[in-house]
Structure 1
Amino acid sequence: MFSRIKEDIKSVFERDPAARNSFEVLTNYPGMHAIWIHRLSNKLWRNDFKLIARLLSTFSRWLTGVEIHPGATLGRRFFIDHGMGIVIGETAEIGDDVTIYHGVTLGGTSWNAGKRHPTLRNNVVIGAGAQVLGPITIGEGGKVGSNSVVVKDVPANATAVGIPARIVNDKKATDEKTKREQAAKKFGFDAYAVSTDNPDPVAKAIGRLLDHMHLMDTKVADLCKEVNQLGGTVCQDALPELSVGEFMEDEKEAAERRKTYVDAFDPEI
Protein backbone atom coordinates (compact mmCIF):
# COMPACT_ATOMS: atom_id res chain seq x y z
CA MET A 1 0.00 0.00 0.00
CA PHE A 2 2.74 2.45 0.97
CA SER A 3 4.67 1.71 -2.22
CA ARG A 4 1.57 2.65 -4.25
CA ILE A 5 1.22 5.90 -2.29
CA LYS A 6 4.88 6.74 -2.96
CA GLU A 7 4.30 5.98 -6.65
CA ASP A 8 1.26 8.27 -6.67
CA ILE A 9 3.16 11.12 -5.03
CA LYS A 10 6.01 10.77 -7.51
CA SER A 11 3.56 10.94 -10.42
CA VAL A 12 2.19 14.23 -9.07
CA PHE A 13 5.60 15.91 -9.39
CA GLU A 14 5.73 14.82 -13.04
CA ARG A 15 2.37 16.46 -13.86
CA ASP A 16 1.92 19.38 -11.46
CA PRO A 17 4.67 22.03 -11.29
CA ALA A 18 2.94 23.57 -8.26
CA ALA A 19 3.87 20.55 -6.09
CA ARG A 20 6.83 21.44 -3.88
CA ASN A 21 7.41 18.43 -1.63
CA SER A 22 5.97 15.06 -0.67
CA PHE A 23 4.44 16.29 2.60
CA GLU A 24 2.51 18.97 0.74
CA VAL A 25 1.13 16.42 -1.72
CA LEU A 26 0.28 14.02 1.10
CA THR A 27 -1.69 16.62 3.04
CA ASN A 28 -3.06 19.11 0.51
CA TYR A 29 -4.15 17.20 -2.60
CA PRO A 30 -7.80 16.15 -2.17
CA GLY A 31 -7.74 14.35 -5.52
CA MET A 32 -5.11 11.99 -4.17
CA HIS A 33 -7.05 11.54 -0.92
CA ALA A 34 -10.11 10.53 -2.95
CA ILE A 35 -8.08 7.93 -4.89
CA TRP A 36 -6.56 6.45 -1.74
CA ILE A 37 -9.94 6.18 -0.02
CA HIS A 38 -11.39 4.64 -3.19
CA ARG A 39 -8.84 1.82 -3.08
CA LEU A 40 -10.18 0.79 0.29
CA SER A 41 -13.84 1.19 -0.70
CA ASN A 42 -13.20 -0.75 -3.93
CA LYS A 43 -11.76 -3.69 -1.96
CA LEU A 44 -14.81 -3.66 0.30
CA TRP A 45 -17.09 -3.50 -2.74
CA ARG A 46 -15.40 -6.47 -4.41
CA ASN A 47 -15.66 -8.49 -1.19
CA ASP A 48 -19.41 -7.84 -1.06
CA PHE A 49 -19.31 -5.28 1.77
CA LYS A 50 -21.24 -2.95 -0.48
CA LEU A 51 -22.99 -0.82 2.14
CA ILE A 52 -19.77 -0.05 3.98
CA ALA A 53 -18.09 0.66 0.63
CA ARG A 54 -20.81 3.14 -0.30
CA LEU A 55 -20.66 4.83 3.09
CA LEU A 56 -16.90 5.21 2.73
CA SER A 57 -17.21 6.66 -0.78
CA THR A 58 -19.86 9.10 0.47
CA PHE A 59 -17.51 10.19 3.25
CA SER A 60 -14.79 10.69 0.62
CA ARG A 61 -17.19 12.82 -1.43
CA TRP A 62 -17.93 14.97 1.61
CA LEU A 63 -14.24 15.27 2.46
CA THR A 64 -12.75 15.88 -0.99
CA GLY A 65 -15.57 16.97 -3.34
CA VAL A 66 -14.72 14.00 -5.58
CA GLU A 67 -17.36 11.30 -6.09
CA ILE A 68 -15.96 7.92 -7.16
CA HIS A 69 -18.28 4.94 -7.10
CA PRO A 70 -16.61 2.07 -5.21
CA GLY A 71 -17.23 -0.20 -8.21
CA ALA A 72 -15.09 1.91 -10.57
CA THR A 73 -11.70 0.56 -11.68
CA LEU A 74 -8.72 2.90 -11.36
CA GLY A 75 -5.26 2.24 -12.80
CA ARG A 76 -1.83 3.09 -11.44
CA ARG A 77 -0.54 6.66 -11.13
CA PHE A 78 -4.01 8.07 -11.71
CA PHE A 79 -3.95 11.81 -10.99
CA ILE A 80 -6.92 14.04 -10.19
CA ASP A 81 -5.74 17.66 -10.35
CA HIS A 82 -7.65 20.07 -8.10
CA GLY A 83 -10.54 17.62 -7.63
CA MET A 84 -13.94 19.10 -6.71
CA GLY A 85 -16.97 18.32 -8.80
CA ILE A 86 -15.58 15.12 -10.33
CA VAL A 87 -17.98 12.20 -10.79
CA ILE A 88 -16.78 8.72 -11.78
CA GLY A 89 -19.49 6.12 -12.34
CA GLU A 90 -19.71 2.51 -11.23
CA THR A 91 -18.60 0.79 -14.44
CA ALA A 92 -15.95 3.34 -15.40
CA GLU A 93 -12.51 1.89 -16.15
CA ILE A 94 -9.42 4.06 -15.97
CA GLY A 95 -5.98 2.95 -17.18
CA ASP A 96 -2.51 3.89 -16.00
CA ASP A 97 -1.06 7.43 -15.97
CA VAL A 98 -4.43 9.07 -16.62
CA THR A 99 -4.98 12.71 -15.65
CA ILE A 100 -8.34 14.41 -15.17
CA TYR A 101 -9.13 17.92 -13.97
CA HIS A 102 -11.91 19.42 -11.86
CA GLY A 103 -15.53 19.27 -12.93
CA VAL A 104 -15.14 16.14 -15.07
CA THR A 105 -17.95 13.59 -15.29
CA LEU A 106 -17.42 10.01 -16.39
CA GLY A 107 -21.12 9.26 -16.53
CA GLY A 108 -23.72 7.06 -18.15
CA THR A 109 -26.47 7.67 -20.68
CA SER A 110 -28.69 4.74 -19.77
CA TRP A 111 -30.45 3.33 -16.72
CA ASN A 112 -29.91 -0.22 -17.94
CA ALA A 113 -27.64 -2.50 -15.92
CA GLY A 114 -24.25 -3.49 -17.28
CA LYS A 115 -21.40 -1.48 -18.75
CA ARG A 116 -22.68 2.09 -19.03
CA HIS A 117 -19.69 4.29 -18.18
CA PRO A 118 -16.56 5.23 -20.16
CA THR A 119 -13.25 3.41 -20.44
CA LEU A 120 -10.09 5.54 -20.44
CA ARG A 121 -6.97 3.84 -21.76
CA ASN A 122 -3.43 4.64 -20.57
CA ASN A 123 -2.08 8.23 -20.68
CA VAL A 124 -5.45 9.87 -21.32
CA VAL A 125 -5.97 13.51 -20.29
CA ILE A 126 -9.47 14.92 -19.65
CA GLY A 127 -9.75 18.72 -19.43
CA ALA A 128 -11.68 20.64 -16.79
CA GLY A 129 -15.47 20.50 -17.04
CA ALA A 130 -15.55 17.80 -19.73
CA GLN A 131 -18.40 15.30 -19.80
CA VAL A 132 -17.51 11.82 -21.08
CA LEU A 133 -20.74 9.87 -21.29
CA GLY A 134 -21.76 6.31 -22.07
CA PRO A 135 -19.90 3.01 -22.57
CA ILE A 136 -17.37 4.60 -24.91
CA THR A 137 -13.58 4.30 -25.08
CA ILE A 138 -10.98 7.05 -25.07
CA GLY A 139 -7.99 5.48 -26.80
CA GLU A 140 -4.48 5.43 -25.38
CA GLY A 141 -2.93 8.88 -25.31
CA GLY A 142 -6.26 10.50 -26.17
CA LYS A 143 -7.16 14.00 -24.96
CA VAL A 144 -10.50 15.67 -24.30
CA GLY A 145 -10.69 19.46 -24.29
CA SER A 146 -12.17 21.47 -21.43
CA ASN A 147 -15.99 21.64 -21.29
CA SER A 148 -16.35 19.16 -24.16
CA VAL A 149 -19.17 16.60 -24.27
CA VAL A 150 -17.95 13.26 -25.59
CA VAL A 151 -20.49 10.58 -26.51
CA LYS A 152 -18.49 8.63 -29.13
CA ASP A 153 -15.19 6.76 -29.06
CA VAL A 154 -12.00 8.79 -29.37
CA PRO A 155 -9.12 7.09 -31.26
CA ALA A 156 -5.69 6.65 -29.72
CA ASN A 157 -3.57 9.83 -29.63
CA ALA A 158 -6.47 11.94 -30.91
CA THR A 159 -7.92 15.10 -29.37
CA ALA A 160 -11.67 15.68 -29.03
CA VAL A 161 -13.16 19.13 -28.45
CA GLY A 162 -16.57 20.80 -28.62
CA ILE A 163 -20.24 20.03 -27.95
CA PRO A 164 -20.73 17.39 -29.15
CA ALA A 165 -17.03 16.63 -29.30
CA ARG A 166 -15.32 16.11 -32.65
CA ILE A 167 -11.84 14.88 -33.45
CA VAL A 168 -9.46 17.70 -34.36
CA ASN A 169 -6.11 15.97 -34.88
CA ASP A 170 -6.90 12.38 -35.78
CA LYS A 171 -4.44 11.05 -38.38
CA LYS A 172 -7.23 9.57 -40.50
CA ALA A 173 -9.11 12.90 -40.56
CA THR A 174 -5.89 14.76 -41.35
CA ASP A 175 -5.11 12.43 -44.26
CA GLU A 176 -8.65 12.84 -45.59
CA LYS A 177 -8.35 16.63 -45.36
CA THR A 178 -5.02 16.57 -47.22
CA LYS A 179 -6.46 14.42 -50.01
CA ARG A 180 -9.44 16.72 -50.33
CA GLU A 181 -7.25 19.82 -50.63
CA GLN A 182 -5.14 18.11 -53.29
CA ALA A 183 -8.27 17.14 -55.22
CA ALA A 184 -9.61 20.68 -54.97
CA LYS A 185 -6.41 22.10 -56.45
CA LYS A 186 -6.40 19.50 -59.20
CA PHE A 187 -9.94 20.28 -60.28
CA GLY A 188 -9.34 24.02 -60.16
CA PHE A 189 -11.25 24.87 -56.97
CA ASP A 190 -9.92 26.91 -54.12
CA ALA A 191 -9.36 24.49 -51.23
CA TYR A 192 -10.67 27.06 -48.74
CA ALA A 193 -13.89 25.95 -46.97
CA VAL A 194 -13.76 22.31 -48.10
CA SER A 195 -12.11 20.94 -44.95
CA THR A 196 -13.61 17.92 -43.20
CA ASP A 197 -14.51 19.89 -40.07
CA ASN A 198 -16.23 22.85 -41.72
CA PRO A 199 -19.72 23.41 -40.21
CA ASP A 200 -21.15 24.94 -43.41
CA PRO A 201 -23.48 22.36 -45.06
CA VAL A 202 -22.77 23.75 -48.56
CA ALA A 203 -19.01 23.44 -47.99
CA LYS A 204 -19.53 19.92 -46.69
CA ALA A 205 -21.51 19.01 -49.80
CA ILE A 206 -18.78 20.42 -52.06
CA GLY A 207 -16.22 18.50 -50.04
CA ARG A 208 -18.10 15.23 -50.53
CA LEU A 209 -18.36 15.93 -54.27
CA LEU A 210 -14.61 16.47 -54.37
CA ASP A 211 -14.10 13.18 -52.56
CA HIS A 212 -16.29 11.42 -55.14
CA MET A 213 -14.57 13.10 -58.09
CA HIS A 214 -11.13 12.27 -56.73
CA LEU A 215 -12.08 8.61 -56.24
CA MET A 216 -13.60 8.32 -59.71
CA ASP A 217 -10.58 10.06 -61.25
CA THR A 218 -8.24 7.61 -59.51
CA LYS A 219 -10.27 4.61 -60.67
CA VAL A 220 -10.35 5.85 -64.28
CA ALA A 221 -6.58 6.44 -64.19
CA ASP A 222 -6.02 2.87 -62.92
CA LEU A 223 -8.33 1.49 -65.61
CA CYS A 224 -6.54 3.43 -68.38
CA LYS A 225 -3.20 2.15 -67.12
CA GLU A 226 -4.36 -1.47 -67.28
CA VAL A 227 -5.86 -1.02 -70.77
CA ASN A 228 -2.65 0.57 -72.07
CA GLN A 229 -0.59 -2.28 -70.64
CA LEU A 230 -2.76 -4.66 -72.69
CA GLY A 231 -1.91 -2.73 -75.87
CA GLY A 232 -4.66 -0.12 -75.91
CA THR A 233 -4.21 3.60 -76.51
CA VAL A 234 -6.73 5.30 -74.26
CA CYS A 235 -6.56 8.34 -72.01
CA GLN A 236 -3.79 9.93 -74.06
CA ASP A 237 -5.18 13.45 -73.93
CA ALA A 238 -4.62 15.52 -70.80
CA LEU A 239 -7.68 16.79 -68.97
CA PRO A 240 -8.37 20.50 -69.51
CA GLU A 241 -7.53 22.69 -66.56
CA LEU A 242 -10.32 24.43 -64.70
CA SER A 243 -10.07 27.90 -63.25
CA VAL A 244 -12.43 29.39 -60.73
CA GLY A 245 -12.19 32.67 -62.61
CA GLU A 246 -13.95 31.13 -65.59
CA PHE A 247 -17.06 30.71 -63.48
CA MET A 248 -16.97 34.13 -61.85
CA GLU A 249 -18.59 37.17 -63.37
CA ASP A 250 -16.73 40.44 -63.62
CA GLU A 251 -18.00 42.76 -60.86
CA LYS A 252 -18.49 45.69 -63.26
CA GLU A 253 -20.46 43.56 -65.73
CA ALA A 254 -22.56 42.13 -62.91
CA ALA A 255 -23.38 45.66 -61.63
CA GLU A 256 -24.43 46.81 -65.10
CA ARG A 257 -26.59 43.72 -65.58
CA ARG A 258 -28.34 44.28 -62.25
CA LYS A 259 -28.96 47.92 -63.15
CA THR A 260 -30.48 46.88 -66.50
CA TYR A 261 -32.87 44.52 -64.74
CA VAL A 262 -33.88 47.19 -62.21
CA ASP A 263 -34.46 49.81 -64.91
CA ALA A 264 -36.56 47.38 -66.93
CA PHE A 265 -38.94 46.73 -64.04
CA ASP A 266 -38.93 50.16 -62.39
CA PRO A 267 -37.43 53.04 -64.41
CA GLU A 268 -37.91 55.48 -61.50
CA ILE A 269 -35.44 53.68 -59.26
Structure 2
Amino acid sequence: MTDLVPSQWPLFSDFAIIFERDPAARSWLEVLCCYPGLHAVTAHRLAHWLHCRHIPFLPRLLSHLARCFTGIEIHPGAQLGVAVFIDHGMGVVIGETAVVGDYSLIYQGVTLGGTGKETGKRHPTVGKGVVIGAGANVLGNIHIGNHARIGAGSVVLHAVPAHCTAVGVPSRNVGECNTTAAPLEHGHLPDLEAETIQHFWTRIQRLEDQLYHLKLSAHSSLTTLESSSHG
Protein backbone atom coordinates (compact mmCIF):
# COMPACT_ATOMS: atom_id res chain seq x y z
CA MET A 1 0.00 0.00 0.00
CA THR A 2 1.38 3.38 -0.99
CA ASP A 3 1.99 5.81 1.86
CA LEU A 4 0.44 8.88 0.31
CA VAL A 5 1.00 11.29 3.18
CA PRO A 6 2.68 11.38 6.58
CA SER A 7 0.69 9.85 9.42
CA GLN A 8 0.66 13.19 11.26
CA TRP A 9 -1.79 14.52 8.67
CA PRO A 10 -4.68 12.04 9.00
CA LEU A 11 -7.34 14.38 7.60
CA PHE A 12 -5.34 14.99 4.42
CA SER A 13 -4.63 11.27 4.06
CA ASP A 14 -8.35 10.50 4.53
CA PHE A 15 -9.03 12.84 1.62
CA ALA A 16 -6.18 11.68 -0.63
CA ILE A 17 -6.87 7.94 -0.29
CA ILE A 18 -10.28 8.35 -1.92
CA PHE A 19 -8.68 9.14 -5.27
CA GLU A 20 -6.60 5.96 -5.05
CA ARG A 21 -9.47 3.71 -3.98
CA ASP A 22 -12.50 5.05 -5.87
CA PRO A 23 -12.42 5.37 -9.68
CA ALA A 24 -15.60 7.48 -9.50
CA ALA A 25 -13.78 10.29 -7.66
CA ARG A 26 -13.23 12.97 -10.32
CA SER A 27 -12.49 16.22 -8.51
CA TRP A 28 -11.49 17.49 -5.09
CA LEU A 29 -14.72 19.52 -4.84
CA GLU A 30 -16.86 16.46 -5.53
CA VAL A 31 -15.01 14.42 -2.91
CA LEU A 32 -15.10 17.21 -0.36
CA CYS A 33 -18.84 17.80 -0.73
CA CYS A 34 -20.34 14.46 -1.76
CA TYR A 35 -18.53 11.67 0.10
CA PRO A 36 -20.33 10.78 3.36
CA GLY A 37 -17.51 8.44 4.38
CA LEU A 38 -15.08 11.36 4.43
CA HIS A 39 -17.55 13.50 6.38
CA ALA A 40 -18.14 10.75 8.95
CA VAL A 41 -14.43 10.05 9.47
CA THR A 42 -13.66 13.78 9.79
CA ALA A 43 -16.40 14.25 12.39
CA HIS A 44 -15.18 11.16 14.21
CA ARG A 45 -11.64 12.47 14.49
CA LEU A 46 -12.93 15.55 16.31
CA ALA A 47 -15.30 13.49 18.48
CA HIS A 48 -12.50 11.04 19.33
CA TRP A 49 -10.17 13.91 20.28
CA LEU A 50 -12.79 15.24 22.68
CA HIS A 51 -13.53 11.73 23.97
CA CYS A 52 -9.86 11.12 24.80
CA ARG A 53 -9.91 14.31 26.90
CA HIS A 54 -12.89 13.03 28.89
CA ILE A 55 -15.19 15.80 27.73
CA PRO A 56 -18.77 14.64 28.47
CA PHE A 57 -21.76 14.60 26.12
CA LEU A 58 -20.25 16.59 23.23
CA PRO A 59 -18.41 13.65 21.58
CA ARG A 60 -21.59 11.55 21.52
CA LEU A 61 -23.56 14.51 20.18
CA LEU A 62 -21.09 14.96 17.33
CA SER A 63 -21.25 11.23 16.60
CA HIS A 64 -25.04 11.36 16.57
CA LEU A 65 -25.14 14.38 14.24
CA ALA A 66 -22.66 12.70 11.88
CA ARG A 67 -24.89 9.61 11.86
CA CYS A 68 -27.93 11.74 10.99
CA PHE A 69 -26.15 13.40 8.06
CA THR A 70 -24.16 10.44 6.71
CA GLY A 71 -25.89 7.24 7.84
CA ILE A 72 -22.58 6.12 9.36
CA GLU A 73 -22.34 5.54 13.10
CA ILE A 74 -18.87 5.61 14.67
CA HIS A 75 -18.61 5.66 18.44
CA PRO A 76 -16.25 8.40 19.66
CA GLY A 77 -14.18 5.76 21.49
CA ALA A 78 -13.36 3.83 18.31
CA GLN A 79 -9.80 4.18 17.01
CA LEU A 80 -9.32 4.79 13.28
CA GLY A 81 -5.93 4.74 11.59
CA VAL A 82 -4.88 7.04 8.77
CA ALA A 83 -6.43 6.84 5.30
CA VAL A 84 -9.43 4.78 6.37
CA PHE A 85 -11.96 4.91 3.50
CA ILE A 86 -15.64 4.19 4.09
CA ASP A 87 -17.08 3.79 0.58
CA HIS A 88 -20.78 4.73 0.16
CA GLY A 89 -21.10 4.08 3.88
CA MET A 90 -24.83 3.94 4.59
CA GLY A 91 -25.50 1.61 7.52
CA VAL A 92 -21.89 1.27 8.70
CA VAL A 93 -21.62 0.83 12.49
CA ILE A 94 -18.27 0.90 14.33
CA GLY A 95 -18.41 0.14 18.04
CA GLU A 96 -16.76 1.83 20.99
CA THR A 97 -13.72 -0.42 21.42
CA ALA A 98 -13.19 -1.18 17.73
CA VAL A 99 -9.77 -0.47 16.19
CA VAL A 100 -9.41 0.02 12.43
CA GLY A 101 -5.91 -0.01 10.94
CA ASP A 102 -4.35 2.33 8.38
CA TYR A 103 -5.51 2.14 4.75
CA SER A 104 -8.50 -0.08 5.51
CA LEU A 105 -11.47 -0.05 3.14
CA ILE A 106 -15.02 -0.50 4.47
CA TYR A 107 -18.09 -0.78 2.27
CA GLN A 108 -21.71 0.02 3.10
CA GLY A 109 -23.67 -1.94 5.68
CA VAL A 110 -20.62 -3.18 7.60
CA THR A 111 -20.87 -3.70 11.36
CA LEU A 112 -17.84 -3.85 13.63
CA GLY A 113 -19.80 -4.82 16.71
CA GLY A 114 -19.90 -6.83 19.90
CA THR A 115 -21.59 -10.12 20.66
CA GLY A 116 -23.48 -8.85 23.69
CA LYS A 117 -21.60 -11.18 26.04
CA GLU A 118 -18.44 -9.24 26.79
CA THR A 119 -17.36 -6.15 28.69
CA GLY A 120 -14.23 -4.07 28.23
CA LYS A 121 -12.62 -4.71 24.84
CA ARG A 122 -15.61 -6.22 23.03
CA HIS A 123 -15.25 -5.06 19.44
CA PRO A 124 -12.93 -6.18 16.62
CA THR A 125 -9.37 -5.07 15.98
CA VAL A 126 -8.88 -4.66 12.24
CA GLY A 127 -5.32 -4.63 10.89
CA LYS A 128 -3.79 -2.47 8.20
CA GLY A 129 -4.97 -2.60 4.60
CA VAL A 130 -8.01 -4.76 5.37
CA VAL A 131 -10.97 -4.76 2.96
CA ILE A 132 -14.44 -5.48 4.38
CA GLY A 133 -17.18 -6.13 1.82
CA ALA A 134 -20.71 -4.74 1.85
CA GLY A 135 -23.02 -6.04 4.55
CA ALA A 136 -20.34 -7.97 6.43
CA ASN A 137 -20.63 -8.33 10.21
CA VAL A 138 -17.43 -8.65 12.23
CA LEU A 139 -18.43 -9.36 15.80
CA GLY A 140 -16.64 -9.68 19.11
CA ASN A 141 -13.15 -9.07 20.41
CA ILE A 142 -11.39 -10.75 17.49
CA HIS A 143 -8.41 -9.81 15.34
CA ILE A 144 -8.48 -9.36 11.58
CA GLY A 145 -4.92 -9.62 10.29
CA ASN A 146 -3.17 -7.12 8.04
CA HIS A 147 -4.32 -7.15 4.41
CA ALA A 148 -7.08 -9.68 5.04
CA ARG A 149 -10.37 -9.36 3.20
CA ILE A 150 -13.91 -10.15 4.25
CA GLY A 151 -16.44 -11.11 1.58
CA ALA A 152 -19.76 -9.29 1.27
CA GLY A 153 -22.48 -10.54 3.60
CA SER A 154 -20.10 -12.62 5.72
CA VAL A 155 -20.54 -13.02 9.48
CA VAL A 156 -17.09 -13.18 11.08
CA LEU A 157 -16.97 -14.56 14.62
CA HIS A 158 -13.38 -15.81 14.76
CA ALA A 159 -9.96 -14.35 13.97
CA VAL A 160 -8.84 -14.03 10.35
CA PRO A 161 -5.08 -14.40 9.69
CA ALA A 162 -3.13 -11.82 7.74
CA HIS A 163 -3.46 -12.02 3.93
CA CYS A 164 -6.45 -14.36 4.24
CA THR A 165 -9.95 -14.21 2.73
CA ALA A 166 -12.98 -15.00 4.90
CA VAL A 167 -16.41 -15.68 3.41
CA GLY A 168 -19.71 -17.24 4.47
CA VAL A 169 -22.19 -17.34 7.36
CA PRO A 170 -20.52 -18.01 9.70
CA SER A 171 -17.33 -17.21 7.85
CA ARG A 172 -14.57 -19.61 6.95
CA ASN A 173 -11.00 -18.70 6.10
CA VAL A 174 -10.57 -19.89 2.53
CA GLY A 175 -7.05 -18.98 1.50
CA GLU A 176 -4.46 -16.30 1.01
CA CYS A 177 -5.09 -13.11 -0.92
CA ASN A 178 -3.30 -10.04 -2.16
CA THR A 179 -5.33 -6.95 -1.35
CA THR A 180 -2.74 -4.69 -2.95
CA ALA A 181 -3.17 -6.26 -6.38
CA ALA A 182 -6.87 -7.14 -6.02
CA PRO A 183 -8.67 -5.25 -3.24
CA LEU A 184 -11.79 -7.43 -3.20
CA GLU A 185 -12.85 -9.29 -6.35
CA HIS A 186 -16.26 -10.57 -5.27
CA GLY A 187 -16.70 -12.30 -8.60
CA HIS A 188 -13.70 -14.52 -7.83
CA LEU A 189 -14.48 -15.39 -4.22
CA PRO A 190 -15.05 -19.10 -3.62
CA ASP A 191 -18.62 -20.35 -3.18
CA LEU A 192 -18.21 -22.65 -0.19
CA GLU A 193 -21.76 -24.00 -0.24
CA ALA A 194 -21.61 -24.80 -3.95
CA GLU A 195 -18.24 -26.52 -3.52
CA THR A 196 -19.61 -28.61 -0.64
CA ILE A 197 -22.71 -29.61 -2.60
CA GLN A 198 -20.59 -30.47 -5.63
CA HIS A 199 -18.32 -32.62 -3.45
CA PHE A 200 -21.27 -34.60 -2.08
CA TRP A 201 -22.85 -34.89 -5.54
CA THR A 202 -19.62 -36.31 -6.98
CA ARG A 203 -19.34 -38.73 -4.05
CA ILE A 204 -22.93 -39.92 -4.48
CA GLN A 205 -22.39 -40.54 -8.19
CA ARG A 206 -19.27 -42.59 -7.46
CA LEU A 207 -21.15 -44.66 -4.88
CA GLU A 208 -24.02 -45.22 -7.32
CA ASP A 209 -21.57 -46.35 -10.00
CA GLN A 210 -19.97 -48.77 -7.55
CA LEU A 211 -23.38 -50.10 -6.55
CA TYR A 212 -24.36 -50.54 -10.19
CA HIS A 213 -21.20 -52.54 -10.93
CA LEU A 214 -21.73 -54.66 -7.82
CA LYS A 215 -25.27 -55.44 -8.96
CA LEU A 216 -23.99 -56.40 -12.42
CA SER A 217 -21.34 -58.62 -10.85
CA ALA A 218 -23.88 -60.27 -8.53
CA HIS A 219 -26.32 -60.82 -11.40
CA SER A 220 -23.57 -62.34 -13.55
CA SER A 221 -22.54 -64.67 -10.72
CA LEU A 222 -26.15 -65.72 -10.12
CA THR A 223 -26.63 -66.45 -13.82
CA THR A 224 -23.48 -68.57 -13.86
CA LEU A 225 -24.64 -70.56 -10.84
CA GLU A 226 -28.08 -71.19 -12.38
CA SER A 227 -26.50 -72.34 -15.61
CA SER A 228 -24.23 -74.73 -13.71
CA SER A 229 -27.13 -76.21 -11.71
CA HIS A 230 -29.18 -76.85 -14.86
CA GLY A 231 -26.21 -78.42 -16.54
TM-score (norm 1): 0.65
Q: CA deviation at 1:113?
A: 2.2
Q: Secondary structure at the match of 2:93?
A: strand
Please tell me the residue identity of whatever aligns with 2:69: L
Alignment of 1:8-87 (within 5 A): 8-87=14-93
Q: CA deviation at 1:10?
A: 1.4
Check if 1:113 corresponds to 2:76: no
Which residue does the alignment assign to 2:164? 158
Check if 1:253 corresponds to 2:196: no
1:104 is matched with which residue: 86, 94, 110?
Answer: 110
1:254–1:130 Cα change, 3 Å? farther
Q: CA deviation at 1:6?
A: 2.5
1:149 is matched with which residue: 149, 152, 155?
Answer: 155
Task: State how far apart, in whole Å, the 2-side matches of 1:9 and 1:255 are.
Answer: 75
Q: Secondary structure at the match of 1:39?
A: helix
Alignment of 1:69-218 (within 5 A): 69-170=75-176, 199=196
Aligned residues: 193
Task: State how far apart, in whole Å, the 2-side matches of 1:95 and 1:88 are.
Answer: 13
Which residue does the alignment assign to 1:232? none
1:255–1:23 Cα change, 3 Å? farther
Task: State how far apart, in whole Å, the 2-side matches of 1:107 and 1:4 are.
Answer: 24
Q: Secondary structure at the match of 2:116?
A: coil
1:96-152 C-alpha deviation (Å, 9 max, x unpaired): 000000000000013432000000000000000000000001100000000000000
> Superposition RMSD on alpha carbons, in Å?
3.0
* Structure 2 gap ranges (5+): 1-6, 178-191, 224-231
Q: Secondary structure at the match of 1:160?
A: strand
* Structure 1 gap ranges (5+): 172-194, 207-243, 261-269
Q: Percent sequence identity over matched residues? A: 50
Task: State how far apart, in whole Å, the 2-side matches of 1:2 and 1:21 are.
Answer: 24
Q: Secondary structure at the match of 1:167?
A: strand
The structure with more helix, counted as a fraction of residues: 1
Please tell me the residue identity of whatever aligns with 2:160: V
Task: State how far apart, in whole Å, the 2-side matches of 1:103 and 1:83 are.
Answer: 7
Task: State how far apart, in whole Å, the 1-side matches of 2:8 and 2:212 are.
Answer: 76
Task: State how far apart, in whole Å, the 2-side matches of 1:2 and 1:22 are.
Answer: 21
TM-score (norm 2): 0.75
1:111–1:50 Cα change, 3 Å? farther
Which portions of structure 1, spanning 4 or more consecutive aligned residues, are displaced by more than 4 angstroms? 197-200
Please tell me the residue identity of whatever aligns with 1:18: A
Task: State how far apart, in whole Å, the 1-side matches of 2:119 and 2:211 are.
Answer: 60
Which residue does the alignment assign to 2:227? none
Q: CA deviation at 1:79?
A: 0.2
Considering Cα pairs closer than 8 Å and 6+ residues apart, tell me whether 1 or 2 has the greater RCO. Answer: 2
